[in-house]
Amino acid sequence: MSLPEIAKSPLNTKFGTFDLYDFAWSQNEQDNVLALVSDYGDGIPLVRVQSACYTGEIFESTDCDCHWQLETALHRIQEEGGIFIYMLCDGRGAGLLTKIRGMNITATQGLDTADAYKALGSPLDPRQYERAGFILKHFGITRCRLLTNNPRKINGIESEGILVERIAHMSKPTPANEAYLRSKAMKLGHLMKPFGTDD
Annotated catalytic residues are: 125, 127
Neighbouring C-beta atoms of residue 79, cutoff 10 Å: 12
Long-range contact set of residues 6-15: C-beta below 8 Å, sequence gap at least 24: 6/138, 11/36, 13/74, 13/78, 15/71, 15/74, 15/75, 15/78
Cα distance between residue 131 and residue 145, in whole Å: 18
Half-sphere exposure of 155 (CA within 13 A, CB side): 7
Backbone torsions φ then ψ of 3, nearest 5 degrees: -85, 140
In one-letter notation, the amino acid at residue 82 is G
Q: What is the CA angle 46-99-59, rounded to 5?
A: 65
Cα distance between residue 21 and residue 13, in whole Å: 15
Cα distance between residue 76 and residue 54, in whole Å: 21
Three-state DSSP at 168 gives: coil
